[in-house]
């Protein structure tokens, strides 16, 4: 009951000076809104990055042809490098411990057409295990199988973007398309995947059997990527290291020679992306923390003015028996209520800002209750800390002098 009376008295006191109260709470409101918005967007972005990377395949290690040139910051296009062979994928699957599957692929941009419709897309020559390794599924028809690969059949599975470009609303299964003027029969359509971690459309590609691509379409013997699936998350680091060691041996590289391939561990990509996102979140949250500090200074100023204006009230309360502790608690409760009001409004504005930003920028948004509660608790603590000096000053006023000041 005592606490309820203190809260009611604090509300009456703050309500009597609404404009001053609102101005004092602005700093806290802005600070909490900034922290909540940044944390929600940060959490959503982290989750989105994780979903995007995991959609590319579970426990994935990607080997690409060519090596990044650190001095120039450039990397030769994998399609122009002939250092990876289909046999390398077979060697990885058979000789590297912890490998479940290893699938070679050769990707190139080519023109595809049917009737009067023409589009340029990525043609991927690969093996039947690619959907399992890359977490792809067909929505219509089927992916090609081992028998189709052995016969080097001219069949193709289309991504959703290609379907929309060539067939509009019609069913493409069993239709014929031309890839570089060579006819292929459509046997399936992939489910929609969206963008990958680099921002490329995973639906803007078509899949053909590897021998068909190597012999009949590209006329080459090499591939530009090998997708390696580890048996579990714990095996990924060992698979990446074992793959590097095996490929160096197979390619007969000298001990002092650089790799002629690049091994990328999915776990490392996730860690790097999340670390970048966390660093940005911390940086932006610190700006919100500065706003909270400014809000605390505003509370300090308002409470000092309130103590001066209410000196006679404090004297009357002391004269009728109020203790120094009671006066101290009263003003601390007012400071806490002022900060709480600003933090509640700020949390609502922060959530609204995060939702609007996510809607118009297509960023992710995740509601982090610990972050919201933490920001509000921190703002209340700021209010109490900055209200402590005015409250103590009020509690130490001499009752007789306080009554005479009025």
- Domain chopping of the chain, boundaries: 2-52+275-405, 70-78+101-227
- Its sign, for the CA torsion 295, 301, 305, 310, is positive
**Cβ contact 63:81 at 8 Å:** no
- pLDDT over 90 for what percent of the chain? 33
The rounded distance, in Å, linking the Cα atoms of 183 and 194 is: 27
The whole-number average pLDDT for the span 284-294 is 70
**Cβ contact 332:384 at 8 Å:** yes
**Candidate from 201-210, 250-259, 346-355, 358-367 with smallest mean pLDDT:** 358-367
Reference 266, options 43, 46, 107, 55; nearest CA is: 55
If pLDDT is split at 50, 70 and 90, which confidence band does 1 have?
very low
Give phi and psi for 58, each to the nearest 5.
-85, 135
Give phi and psi for 155, each to the nearest 5.
-125, 160
pLDDT at residue 187, rounded to an integer: 96
In the numeric block, which tokens belong to residue 296? 């605390």
DSSP letters, 281-342, are HHHHHHHHHHHHHHHHHHHHHHHHHHHHHTHHHHHHHHHTT--HHHHHHHHHHHHHHHHHHH
DSSP letters, 78-91, are GGG---B-HHHHHH
How many CB atoms neighbour CB 103 within 10 A?
25
pLDDT at 72 over 50: no
How many CB atoms neighbour CB 226 within 10 A?
28
pLDDT at residue 111, rounded to an integer: 93
């Amino acid at each position: 009951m005592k606490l309820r009376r203190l809260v009611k008295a604090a509300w009456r006191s703050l309500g009597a000076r609404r404009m001053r109260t609102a101005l004092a709470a602005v700093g806290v409101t802005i600070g909490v809104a900034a922290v909540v918005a940044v944390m929600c967007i940060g959490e959503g972005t982290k989750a989105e990055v994780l979903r995007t990377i995991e959609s590319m395949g579970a426990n994935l290690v990607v080997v690409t042809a060519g090596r990044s040139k650190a001095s120039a910051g450039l990397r030769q296009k994998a399609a122009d490098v002939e250092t990876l062979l289909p046999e390398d994928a077979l060697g990885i699957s058979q000789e590297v411990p912890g490998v479940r599957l290893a699938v070679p692929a050769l990707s190139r941009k080519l023109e595809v057409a049917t009737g009067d419709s023409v589009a340029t897309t990525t043609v991927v020559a690969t093996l039947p295990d690619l959907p399992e390794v890359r977490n792809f599924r067909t929505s219509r028809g089927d992916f090609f199988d081992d028998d189709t690969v052995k016969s080097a059949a001219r069949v193709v599975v289309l991504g959703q973007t290609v379907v929309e470009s060539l067939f509009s609303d019609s069913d493409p299964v069993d239709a014929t398309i031309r890839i570089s003027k060579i006819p292929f029969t459509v046997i399936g359509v992939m489910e929609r995947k969206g963008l990958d971690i680099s921002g490329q459309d995973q639906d803007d590609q078509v899949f053909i059997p590897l021998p068909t691509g190597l012999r009949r379409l590209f006329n080459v013997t090499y591939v530009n990527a090998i997708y390696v699936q580890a048996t579990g998350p714990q095996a990924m680091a060992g698979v990446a290291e074992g793959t590097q060691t095996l490929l160096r041996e197979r390619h007969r590289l000298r001990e002092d020679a650089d790799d002629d391939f690049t091994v990328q561990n999915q776990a490392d990509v996730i860690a790097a992306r999340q670390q970048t996102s966390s660093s940005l979140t911390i940086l932006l949250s610190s700006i919100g923390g500065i706003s909270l500090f400014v809000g605390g200074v505003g509370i300090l100023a308002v409470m000092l003015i309130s103590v001066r204006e209410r000196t006679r009230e404090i004297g009357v309360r002391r004269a009728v028996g109020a203790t120094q502790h009671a006066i101290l608690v009263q003003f601390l409760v007012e400071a806490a209520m002022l900060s709480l009001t600003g933090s509640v409004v700020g949390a609502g504005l922060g959530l609204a800002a995060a939702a609007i930003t996510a809607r118009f920028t297509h960023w992710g948004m995740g509601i982090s209750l610990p972050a919201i509660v933490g920001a509000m608790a921190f703002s209340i603590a700021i209010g109490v800390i900055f209200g402590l000096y005015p409250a103590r000053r009020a509690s130490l006023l001499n009752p007789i002098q306080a009554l005479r000041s009025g």
